[in-house]
Each structure stands twice: as structure tokens, then as C-alpha cells.
Amino acid sequence: MEDTICAISTNPGNNGAISIIRLSGKDAVNITAKIFSNKKFAESATHTIHYGFILDGKNKIDEVLVMKMLAPKTYTTEDVVEINCHGGFLVTNKVLEILLLNGARLAEPGEFTKRAFLNGRIDLLEAESVSDLIEAKSEQARKLALNGVTGNLTKLIRELREEIVSLLANIEVNIDYPEYEDEQIVTHENMKPKLQEIEKKLIKIVEESETGKIIKEGIQVAFIGRPNVGKSSLLNAFLQEEKAIVTDVSGTTRDIVEGTYTKNGILFHLIDTAGIRKTEDVVEQIGVKKSKEVLNNADLVILVLNRNEKLTKEDQELLKEVNLKKHIIFLNKDDLEKKIELDPKDYPDIVEGNTKSIDGLENLQKRMEEMFQMNELENKDLNFLSNIRQITLAKKALKNIKNTQEQINQNIPIDILEIELKEAWNNLGLIIGETYDEELIDNLFQKFCLGK
Ligand SMILES: Nc1nc2c(ncn2[C@@H]2O[C@H](COP(=O)(O)OP(=O)(O)OP(=O)(O)O)[C@@H](O)[C@H]2O)c(=O)[nH]1
Ligand SMILES: [Mg+2]
């Protein structure tokens, strides 16, 4: 944290109109002043922009605009300088090199944001959301991340922690005045509704966070079915390109073929699989094994059936299997005669369509969207935790609260309850980084891109 760090903050691979090099640390201004032709820069006011040239000795390297932002109102809370260079790869790297020769150190990935966190400007949730925002691949994921960046989630977690603290205070008072014998019973009874309230909020966070994870990472959709029903045709129709090979030969697809499809800001990962059947062909056997793995790991299974053929034994078996998962039964080839009879009472999730016409998949796409109720999210506060680290901690906190309730029911002395409650408070603290360990922090920020 003593070093002054610098990095190219714009995408270094592309030749844009400008590139930005960022410096942060106590020598940011001094180092820049040494190589900047504008002599007023060093003594100028904070949050001002300065014109001039970057110099290598006497040589002019680039004509630049330099932004000066003194602590503490900056991204890292340290002194920050941003140099806007002309965007060429060579020029930008030359400026960076001169800065390094004059005392700056090259920043590690995410180090600017890490400093913002360590200096207390943002909490861990907000920092992770910055990274999520950069990596957002769909509109919904962007909104979710932005919500984290602006600190709404943090507020929610803080409130929960405060509620737990007030319960703990209650217990402390009781421990300090043990002469009141009835006090324990009173405290137990007082705590019950409050614990229920906390439990309810935590359950909501945990449940909705599972949705948050899906928004962020996209929904894994598996196309499953026996050979020749039209799974690969379905993938191609979704992607509007001939990605998978389609023939009328059974067992055409041997390996999984993937593509992504976005609808109304929701990201779907589509996975076409080998047709499932008993086979002597060794290659096909491996394909079938993979299909089953995809089936097990999917968030949504689309079981494709050929409407033009009677149900086979294989179809029946697959119907049973997908029943255990979130699924849609897609009766394909509705341009041909219908020979399948499935009672909608037994199979409520049936959609018919075809891969041949432009609107053949309309109903299927609509149903896929509905299944995840993403539309409703538009009007909701997106207060979801969006990664495994955060969700696991929230689940732990929930467990602590449930344990406390259990202990109350068993009339366990209140000073024992304190242990679980403190644990809950601590686990929630870990989510926002109120307490943390070095290794976690290092791992987390290494995933950032350089210059962020
Ligand atoms: N009439 C009609 N034919 C279709 C439709 N969809 C697919 N087909 C045809 O069905 C045959 C098989 O299609 P594929 O997409 O290769 O089937 P698959 O399920 O991927 O087959 P495997 O890879 O062998 O498991 C091809 O001849 C397609 O042209 C449809 O909606 N209507
Ligand atoms: Mg296929």
C-alpha cells in the first residue's frame, strides 16, 4: 500500500482514440510531474485537468490530458492521476514504461479496487460487484451487479447484523442481572418473534440469490431426446446458424454442441446432446454418457420428442427421467401429422412447435422465459447475492439462526444462545468483508482485469 501503482486502464489490446493510464498512491503527482511538460501541474488544485506533453528526457512522447485527483475523494481514496494518451498500443506502453522508470510500480490485476476496499471506501460486496459489472453478459446481470455496486445489498446485510446485535444486547443485560429469575423466560419469549423475522429475511435472500446466480451465469438448458427427433435442428434454429450437423441419420450428433441465446436480457446456454439410445458403437456410447451428465447438471431440460412418431420405450424412459428436473416437453415437427398422445394432466409442461418455420419456436421460447420469471424481476429490488462465496455465508448465517431457535425451544440457557448468534453476526460480516482473511482478498482481486 506504500507503493504508487500504475496500469493501463483501458483495453490494451485495441487501438482506440484514447487510452487511459492510471496512477494511485502518495507519489502519483510527483512521478507524473517529473515527466510532464506542464510545469503548473504539481502545484495545481485537486480535480483539475491539464494539457501538455509526456517527455522522455527532452523527447516528446505524446500529447496528453492529465487529470489530477487528490485524496480522499478518489476511486482508491489515495492521490490518483489519470493520463489520457493517444490510443496507440506503442505510445501508451511507452508512457507506461516511463512512469515505471520514474518510480511507479505496475499494478496487479484488481489492485486499484483492492485499495479502495482496504482503505474502506467500498466493502467486499461492492468490490465483487464491480468485477461482476465488468463481466456482465446480459442486461439482467448488469442490473444485478450495479445494484451491488451502489451498496443496496450492503445496507440489507448491515440491517440484519444490527438486528442480531440488539438481540445480543438483550442477552448481555440478562447475564449482567441474573438475580431476576424470570428474566430468562421473558428473554426467550421476546427473542422468538425477532428471530423469526431475521429468519424470514435470510430465507428470502438465500432463495432469491439462487435466481441471482442464474442471472449472472446464465441458464444451462439441455436439449435431450432419442436420436433423430430434431435436437440439433432446434439448436440451429435458436442460434440462427448451422452450428450443429443435421442429417436424417440417427446418431448424427456424437459430442455436445453449445451456443448462447439471449432473450429480454436473460442469458441461456443451450446445449445440444447426442441422442440417447442403447448402442454398440463405442464413440456413440461416450456421447450418450455425456448427454446424461448434461441432463443432470442442467437448470432446465428440454425433452425433445418427434410428434410424428408414436412414443417409443426410450421416450417413456426419458419422460420419467426429466420429470425429476425443471423441464419442458417439446413436441417437435408439428408441421407433420400428430401421432403422439400425451395426457396434459400427466404432462403439464408440453409445448408444440417445429424447427422449420420462422415462428415454430415462439411458444417454446416464451415458456422458457416464463419458467424463470425473469420478467417480474424488472419491477423488483434486485437484492440478491450473486456468487457462491456470498450465498454460502448467508446459508451458514441462516443455519445459526435456526439453531438458536432450536435452543430456545429446548430451554437452553441464554448465555449459550449467544454463541450461535455471534456466529450468525460474524458470517454476515464476512459477506461484506467487515472481517476477512488475506488469502480470500488476494484470490478475489486477482480475478479482476488489469488497471481496475
Ligand atoms: N418436418 C420436420 N423435420 C424436422 C424438424 N426438425 C428436424 N427435422 C428433421 O429431422 C431430422 C433429424 O434432425 P436432427 O436435428 O439431426 O436430429 P437430432 O435429434 O439432433 O438427432 P441425433 O443427433 O441423431 O440425436 C433431420 O432430417 C431434420 O431435417 C421439424 O420441425 N419438422
Ligand atoms: Mg443431433
Which of 15, 159, 196, 145 lies closest to 88 in space, CA to CA?
A: 15
Residue of the CA atom closest to atom 23 of ligand 1: 253
Which run of H or of E encompasses 66?
Answer: strand 59-69
Q: DSSP 3-state assignment of 70?
A: coil
217-377 is a CATH 3.40.50.300 domain: yes
Which of 156, 149, 139, 143 lies closest to 206 in space, CA to CA?
A: 156
Give domain 5-123's CATH number out of 3.30.1360.120, 3.40.50.11890, 2.40.100.20, 3.50.50.60.
Answer: 3.30.1360.120
User: In this structure, which ligand is nearest to the CA of 230?
Assistant: 1
- Is residue 252 in contact with ligand 1, taking CB distance under 6 Å? yes
Distance CA 219, CA 211 (A): 10
> Which ligand 1 atom lies nearest to the CA of residue 233?
15
Residue of the CA atom closest to atom 12 of ligand 1: 228
- Beta strands 257-263; 300-306: pairing state: unpaired
Per-residue model confidence as pLDDT tens digits over 429-439: 999 888 777 77
Q: DSSP 3-state assignment of 326?
A: coil
Alpha helices (H) along 272-387: 282-297, 313-322, 362-372, 374-377
From ligand 2's centre to the CA of 236, what distance in Å? 10
% helix, strand, coil for the chain, step of 5: 45, 15, 35
- Is residue 227 in contact with ligand 1, taking CB distance under 6 Å? yes
Residue to mutate (ligand 1; options 223, 226, 233, 243; most atoms within 8 A of CB): 233
Q: DSSP 3-state assignment of 132?
A: helix
Question: Span 174-201, mean pLDDT?
Answer: 78
**What pLDDT score was predicted for residue 27?**
98
Residue of the CA atom closest to atom 13 of ligand 1: 230
Check: CB of residue 347 under 8 Å from CB of residue 311. no
> Which ligand 1 atom lies nearest to the CA of residue 248?
27
**What pLDDT score was predicted for residue 87?**
82
**What pLDDT score was predicted for residue 182?**
61
- Is residue 230 in contact with ligand 1, taking CB distance under 6 Å? yes
Of the pLDDT bands very low, low, confident and very high (cuts 50, 70, 90), residue 377 is low
Residue of the CA atom closest to atom 3 of ligand 1: 333
Per-residue model confidence as pLDDT tens digits over 293-343: 999 999 999 999 999 999 999 999 999 999 989 999 999 999 999 999 898
**For residue 371, which phi and psi values (nearest 5 degrees)?**
-55, -30
- Look at 378 and 80; give whichever has higher pLDDT: 80
Check: CB of residue 46 under 8 Å from CB of residue 98. no
Where are the domains positioned within the chain?
Answer: 5-123, 127-214+392-446, 217-377
Lowest-pLDDT range, 38-42, 128-132, 162-166, 347-351?
128-132
Distance CA 64, CA 41 (A): 13
CA atoms lying within 13 Å on the CB side of residue 365: 18
Residue of the CA atom closest to atom 8 of ligand 1: 230
- Is residue 250 in contact with ligand 1, taking CB distance under 6 Å? yes
Of the pLDDT bands very low, low, confident and very high (cuts 50, 70, 90), residue 374 is low
Distance CA 131, CA 448 (A): 6
Check: CB of residue 7 under 8 Å from CB of residue 107. yes
From ligand 2's centre to the CA of 244, what distance in Å? 7
Which of 88, 87, 81 lies closest to 104 in space, CA to CA?
A: 81
Angle between helices 388-409 and 124-135 (to 10 degrees): 140
Q: How far is CA 424 from the centre of its chain?
A: 24
Percent of the chain clearing pLDDT 90 (strictly above): 62
Burial letters for 258-279: b for 16+ Cβ neighbours within 10 Å, e otherwise?
A: bbebeeebbbbbbbbbbbbbeb
Q: Which grid coordinates belong to 293?
A: 451428465
- Is residue 416 in contact with ligand 1, taking CB distance under 6 Å? no
From ligand 1's centre to the CA of 231, what distance in Å? 7
Check: CB of residue 354 under 8 Å from CB of residue 329. no
Residue of the CA atom closest to atom 30 of ligand 1: 333
Check: CB of residue 236 under 8 Å from CB of residue 261. no
- Is residue 378 in contact with ligand 1, taking CB distance under 6 Å? no
Residue to mutate (ligand 1; options 223, 224, 226, 228; most atoms within 8 A of CB): 228
Helix and strand tally (H, E) in the chain?
15, 12
- Is residue 25 in contact with ligand 1, taking CB distance under 6 Å? no
Per-residue model confidence as pLDDT tens digits over 299-310: 999 999 999 999
Burial of 226 (0-12, 13-18, 19+ CB in 10 A): buried
Which run of H or of E encompasses 94?
Answer: helix 89-101
Which of 427, 357, 370, 433 lies closest to 399 in space, CA to CA?
A: 427
CA distances from 316 to 285, 303, 322 (A): 20, 11, 10
Residue of the CA atom closest to atom 10 of ligand 1: 230
pLDDT at 55 over 70: yes
Taking the whole predicted model, whether its pTM rises above 0.75 is answered as no
Contacts 24+ apart (CB under 8 A), 87-93: 87/10, 87/14, 87/15, 87/16, 87/17, 87/18, 87/19, 88/15, 88/19, 89/12, 89/13, 89/15, 91/19, 91/61, 91/62, 92/8, 92/12, 92/19, 92/21, 93/8, 93/12
Per-residue model confidence as pLDDT tens digits over 206-217: 887 777 777 778
Q: How far is CA 305 from the centre of its chain?
A: 34
> What secondary structure letter does DSSP report for 309?
S
- Is residue 341 in contact with ligand 1, taking CB distance under 6 Å? no
**What pLDDT score was predicted for residue 132?**
82
Fold category of 127-214+392-446 in CATH? Four Helix Bundle (Hemerythrin (Met), subunit A) (1.20.120)
- Is residue 231 in contact with ligand 1, taking CB distance under 6 Å? yes
From ligand 1's centre to the CA of 252, what distance in Å? 10
Of the pLDDT bands very low, low, confident and very high (cuts 50, 70, 90), residue 367 is very high
**For residue 297, which phi and psi values (nearest 5 degrees)?**
-90, -5
Mean pLDDT (the chain) is 89
From ligand 1's centre to the CA of 247, what distance in Å? 7
